[in-house]
Structure formats: C-alpha cells, structure tokens
A and B are shown apart, each in its own frame.
Chain A
Amino acid sequence: MAGSSIPQGDKSKKEKKGLRDQLGFAHSFLMQRTPLYDEHVRAGGRIVEFAGWEMPVQYTGILQEHKAVREACGVFDISHMGEFFVKGPDATAWLDTLLTNNVSQLPVGHAQYSLMLNERGGVIDDLIVYRLAEDRFLLIVNASMIEENAAWMRSHLSGNVEFENRSEAFAALAIQGPHAAEVFEKIFHRPMPADRNRVEEIEPGRSYIATTGYTGEDGFEWLVPASESANAWNTALAAGAFPCGLGARDTPRLEMGYPLNGSDLSPERTPLEAGLGFFVDLKKTTFTGRDILLEQKASILPHKLCAIRVLDKAPPVRPHYKVYVNGEPVSETTSGALSPSLGYGIAMAYLPPAYSDIGQEVEVEVRDRRFRAVIVKKPFYKKQP
C-alpha cells in the first residue's frame, strides 16, 4: 500500500508492484493509534502504517495538502512522537553528556535541535530540547525511537536527575504554513510568538506551545493532554488549518533538506557525515560519541549526506535508488521525491568525499534507467519572500 513507502529505515525498501498489490490494506494487531485516530477516520484520512503507528497518510491528497502547508496552513497529528521530561539540579549537565548540542547555553523558553549518539558517534535519534525552566526540560523525540531512547537515557542516568517518558499522556499538533500566525490568534486570542524556536508552558505538565516545526514554514507545535486532543484538533480546523497527513509532512521536510531518522540518519552515520555539524558542540568537554567526531574532524569524512537535484524529466526518485558517478554505482538514495513545490526530483544520498561537492554531476537509477542529476546546496526549496 502506498503509505508503506514513507521513508522508514530499511522497511521502506519498496518493490514496484502491480495495482492489485498496492490496493490491499494490511493491518497488524500490533499497531498503535494516536488519540486522534477516530478524528482521522471521520475526516476521511487514509490510514497507513508508519513506524508501528496507524496514521493518516493523506485526507484529500498529498499534493493539495503540501500546497496548503506551503501557501496557507496545515495541521498534522504528531501525537505519535515521544515526550520526555527531565528535571533536577543536574539535568543540564546530564543532558550535555548525552546530546551533541549545548544545553547549558540554551536560554529558558528556547528550543534547540540536537542529536543523541551511540559510542561510535552514530545517530540514535534527532530531537528537540525545550528548556522549560533552569532545571526542567521537555524533549520531543521520534515515534519509532521512543522506547530505545528511553532505555538508553535510563541506562545512562547520573546525578540528581529525574527522567520521565510521558509520551502516552500527550497529543501533539504541528500547525504549519504562512497563515499559521492567523490560526494561532484565532485559537489563543493573542499574537503568535514572533521568534522561532521558543516554547511556552501554558499549563505546567499539561499544555505547551512552541514555535518549532519540520516544514520550513512559520508555525507552531501544540501539546495537549491526550484526553483533550479531539478538542484541540477541531479547534485548529475551525481556526482555518487544513488537515494534513504524513505524506504532506515528508515532502516539505525533504524540500528543506531536513533529515529523517531511519532514512537519512542511522546508527552507522555521524552527524558530521549527515551535515549537521552546526548542531554539534565539540567544545563541550564530554558527550557520548565526541571522540569519534573529533577524529573525523581531524581527517576526512568517509561520506557526506548530499542534496541531489534531478535534471532530467524522470519518475519520482524514492529511497534506496542507486546513485552513479562516471558510470559506477557509488551510493543509494536515503530519501527522495518529486518535489511538489519545485516540480523536479529531489533526493539525498551519502556520497564519498571525492563526489560530494556542490555541482558534482551524478546519475540516479530509476527502473534500470539512469537520469542526470547534480549535487546542490540545501535547502532545495527557499521560502517565497
């Protein structure tokens, strides 16, 4: 079925199939549902499996929903994502030993993109750290990684720190698009915070808003108790946000060159290889994976995650398509799509340093045919002024 090809690690390895294969719904009894599941079904959402969750891939159509995000305002159910709370006198120092970015320099009320690495410097997960108070933090992590992250963090607990995985207690909405500020005003009867990457605790322990997102657009994310999710969802719709499925979350993020864990990030690749050095503070004296990153920095990166623009008219490039340089296969795509905003194919792939410069010509293979492509600077898409 269509939605199973949303990039999700190796599971996304998608064989081309006939219509008959594409049209059967496969439901597993192990699937989880967000508290908004019934709302999605009621709104005509097409439910697919994503990271062990039954999620809407679309309502009316991915292209239309993508357009809503780029030109108006879309609302996504992101309740499947995980919410961790960390507090205590040693919370800052402890997080700084686990995460690549500098938590101690994060002001209260601000948010920061960060990565949690294994001992080899590979990415366990990418996440957002929200500083709620001097010694209190909210972390939002990827749905597929909630249990693994929590286990990792618990096994590394030290000092006077309380760690809580409260993922099931929360529902979350991402409200994104150039009209998001108007939607915000209708919901909260005040202007949306002007600055990006800010967080406000509306009701401590229950409700939060943050000017963060995954689309490259203005917007905010809204956390509410799971029991109040339907009310929040319907409030957002009534305020003018279009319901959007995961399909229209994947294309905007790829147009921005934002990585998706499990596709573009993996335990075998470091954040430096992924081009995320900006979110790694090597001046911190210690954090898991730092030694490997220092070694990489002192030598040459073995691979670099590159943004690839397809030049020929070609079928959509998808994950795990082969990338060629000078007629030789050198890599495969980690993400790919026909960009709805740009009208051409875009993809990402890890390439060896000899072939990773901007302007490098490559070819991408789609169904035994190769199409011309070139490495470009991220982001693919620049917001219209």
Chain B
Amino acid sequence: MNIPENLRYAASHEWILVEGDTGTVGITDHAQAELTDIVFAEPPAIGKTVKAGEVAAVVESVKAASDIYSPVTGEVIERNEAIEADPALLNTDPFGQGWIYKIRLSDPAELAALNDAAGYRAQIGG
C-alpha cells in the first residue's frame, strides 16, 4: 500500500500536502482501493470556507457515495476539474492527478492533529 512520507493523514482517510500556507487534499490509496471504481467526483467550489472535519467534497463509487472531510480549516482556492471529467483518476493516481482541492490554511496548528505516514500505516494495519 502506497503511503507517501511527505503527507499528513486524517483518520478519515484523506491526505494533505502542505506547501507554505497552502494544502492540497485528496484521498489515500487505501481509501480508493476500498471504495472500488470511482465514477463520480465533486470537488468543492472555489472560495468555499470549510472547517476541519467537515464535509468538503463527495466521491461516489459504483456501489456507494462517500463524504470527503477536510483535514484542515481554510478557504478553497483551487478545485481539480480533471476528476470531474475522469473520476477514475482517484483510483489510478490518488496522490497525484487524483487530488481533489487546494486550500489556504487558516490555522496551520491543526496539522499537529493529523497522522504522519507511519501513524496512518499503523491505523490501517499496513
């Protein structure tokens, strides 16, 4: 199971890549594998303010719909339109082309509550 070292992980299976005051958010390889074929994705609108732990996006597999919770609080500054056109990117490249949105962090201290790769690996029993 791929769990990149440079990311932080929410217990709800989202990852965040932090660069300065900006974070890129997606779902983990483990999550996409468990969800199976993703056929619909809806990233949040630019300008939307989301709180840590609140629903920011929705992805749907053939069999189920899943809420995506924002790992941090902030304002959405970019949304990945490519996953709307090709939701399978979430399956094929969850840490790359399958990113969901970018957020301007309003409280970087929240990152301390997230897991590092080792912590997340332990959580999923990998």
- Seen from chain A, the residues whose Cβ lies within 8 Å of a Cβ on chain B are 1-3, 5-6, 14, 16-20, 22-23, 46, 57-58, 61-64, 247, 251, 315-316, 318, 337-338, 340, 367
The interface residues of chain A, by DSSP majority, are classed as: mixed
- Cβ of B14 under 8 Å from chain A: yes
Q: How far is the CB of A228 from chain B (nearest CB, A)?
A: 31
Point out the residue from A17, A23, A63 that lies within 8 Å of B67, measured CB to CB: A17
Question: A338 contacts B62, CB within 8 Å?
Answer: yes
- Seen from chain B, the residues whose Cβ lies within 8 Å of a Cβ on chain A are 11-14, 27, 30-31, 34-37, 39-40, 42, 55, 58, 60-69
- Cα of A1 to Cα of B64 in the assembled complex, Å: 8
> For residue B42, which residues in chain A have a CB less than 8 angstroms away from its CB?
315
> For residue A46, which residues in chain B have a CB less than 8 angstroms away from its CB?
36
Of the candidates A1, A22, A46, A247, the one having the most CB atoms from chain B within 10 angstroms of its own CB is A22
- Cα of A260 to Cα of B61 in the assembled complex, Å: 21
> For residue A17, which residues in chain B have a CB less than 8 angstroms away from its CB?
64-67
Given contacts A22-B34, A58-B36, A338-B40, contact A2 B64 (CB under 8 A): yes
- Cα of A17 to Cα of B35 in the assembled complex, Å: 12
Q: How far is the CB of A40 from chain B (nearest CB, A)?
A: 15
Point out the residue from B35, B39, B58, B69 that lies within 8 Å of A22, measured CB to CB: B35
> For residue B65, which residues in chain A have a CB less than 8 angstroms away from its CB?
14, 16-17, 315-316, 318, 367
Question: A19 contacts B31, CB within 8 Å?
Answer: yes
> For residue A58, which residues in chain B have a CB less than 8 angstroms away from its CB?
36
**Can you give 13 contacting A-B residue pairs, CB < 8 Å?**
A5-B64, A14-B65, A16-B66, A18-B67, A19-B14, A19-B35, A19-B66, A20-B12, A61-B36, A61-B37, A64-B37, A338-B40, A367-B65
> For residue A3, which residues in chain B have a CB less than 8 angstroms away from its CB?
63
Q: How far is the CB of B90 from chain A (nearest CB, A)?
A: 12
- Cα of A2 to Cα of B63 in the assembled complex, Å: 5
Question: A316 contacts B40, CB within 8 Å?
Answer: yes
- Cα of A5 to Cα of B60 in the assembled complex, Å: 12
Closest to B61 in A: A2
Q: How far is the CB of B125 from chain A (nearest CB, A)?
A: 11
Q: How far is the CB of A304 from chain B (nearest CB, A)?
A: 28
Question: B34 contacts A16, CB within 8 Å?
Answer: no
Given contacts A5-B64, A19-B34, 13 further A-B contacts (CB under 8 A): A16-B58, A16-B67, A17-B64, A17-B66, A19-B12, A22-B34, A22-B64, A23-B31, A62-B37, A247-B63, A316-B39, A367-B58, A367-B65
Q: How far is the CB of B66 from chain A (nearest CB, A)?
A: 5
Closest to B42 in A: A315
Question: B66 contacts A338, CB within 8 Å?
Answer: no
